[in-house]
Copies of this chain bind each other. A is one copy, B any other.
Amino acid sequence: MATIGDVAREAGVSRSTASYALSGKRPISEDVRRRVQAAAEALAYTPNAGARALATARTKVLGLLARFHEDEFAPAMLQYILGVTDTARDLGYDTLLVTEADGARALRRITDSRMVDGVVLMNIAQEDARLPVLRAAPQPGALVGLPGDCSGLDVFDLDFEEAGRVMVDHLHRLGHRELILVSQPEHVVERGGAYVWRLRDAALERARLLGVTLHAVYGESRQPAVGQLLNGLLDAHPAATGLLINNEAVAAALPSVTHQRGLRVPEDLSVIGRYSAEFAATFSLPYSFIESAPDRLGSMAVRQLVRRVESPAARREPSVVRFISPELVSLASTAPPGPAAP
């Protein structure tokens, strides 16, 4: 491979001049600049990333730490990842994807060795072992998901509390008075998946205020348990006219269950979920839903991260916590309850 020394020799200038001619960081005569560029072209010169990183203390690589729990829904995960990699590339960065189980150790490895200029953390837990490591690291970081203590960290997440309230409000306004909320499986809660109880608690609180009955249960993530759970719920609460779903797997399984039971949606049961539009389209879920926009969250996190990476001033700004407000993007499957329907 050609080095900048080769380019310089070919163009008949010194290495430093070649470097300046290519970077434009100092004035260079038009003639020399052209000769250097021609030489670089001719030799197919590409700077060595390691050497450049060593000299500039910049790698142009971002780390992305993600865990794949079997109970997490793959399509959503992939959308987060794409939001990050695509945005990073637009901004001139590559992405190092780290999926190993011991996230804290992995984070220490990539930050201490200076492989990355910054990191995005996903699958944030209430008490996340990676956060102390991140706070101590010299590189900035951004979280997708809200931890218990987010001091000093940039956080991006859906406003799950508001999502819970919007769901309850919407059905209450239509006249529903008995609802069921299916969340993620309980072990997601146990490992600190705060988004489960953030939506759940807010929904329960709002239901209490409005005088609506809300049966809140933890869900399942895999078949056939999901189907059994749904059938059990509908058996147990025959008077419930509305179903709230904070769990992609449950949403995906619902159509066959309602079909099987002969339930019409929304005439017999109003349904409102929380997932991405992409997910809704893939599985043709005919439900009202709150858009969770994973790709947008990933993208936002990267933009903020890169700002901090590239500007010393931005690095000193106070940390931000930014919530995407839940938007009800479809109203296909919610209607006034039973008797009022055609």
Contacts and interface: CB of A to CB of B under 8 A. Distances in A.
A313 interface: no
A32 interface: no
A104 to B, nearest CB: 14
A93 B282 CA distance: 34
A114 B1 contact: yes
Interface in A106-146: 108-110, 112-115, 138
A82 B96 contact: no
B81 A74 contact: no
Give the residue among A47, A81, A86, A113 with the most B Cβ atoms within 10 A. Answer: A113
Interface in A20-61: 44, 46-54, 59, 61
Interface in A86-100: 86, 89, 94-100
Given A75-B74, A227-B284, A256-B255, A85 B112 contact: no
Contacts of A49: 50, 53, 59, 113-115
Nearest to A51: B54
Given A78-B77, A256-B255, A259-B259, A114 B48 contact: yes
A97 B100 contact: no
A148 B260 CA distance: 46
A294 to B, nearest CB: 11
Interface of A: 1, 44, 46-54, 59, 61, 64, 68, 74-75, 77-79, 81-82, 85-86, 89, 94-100, 108-110, 112-115, 138, 222-224, 226-227, 249, 252-253, 255-256, 259-260, 281-284
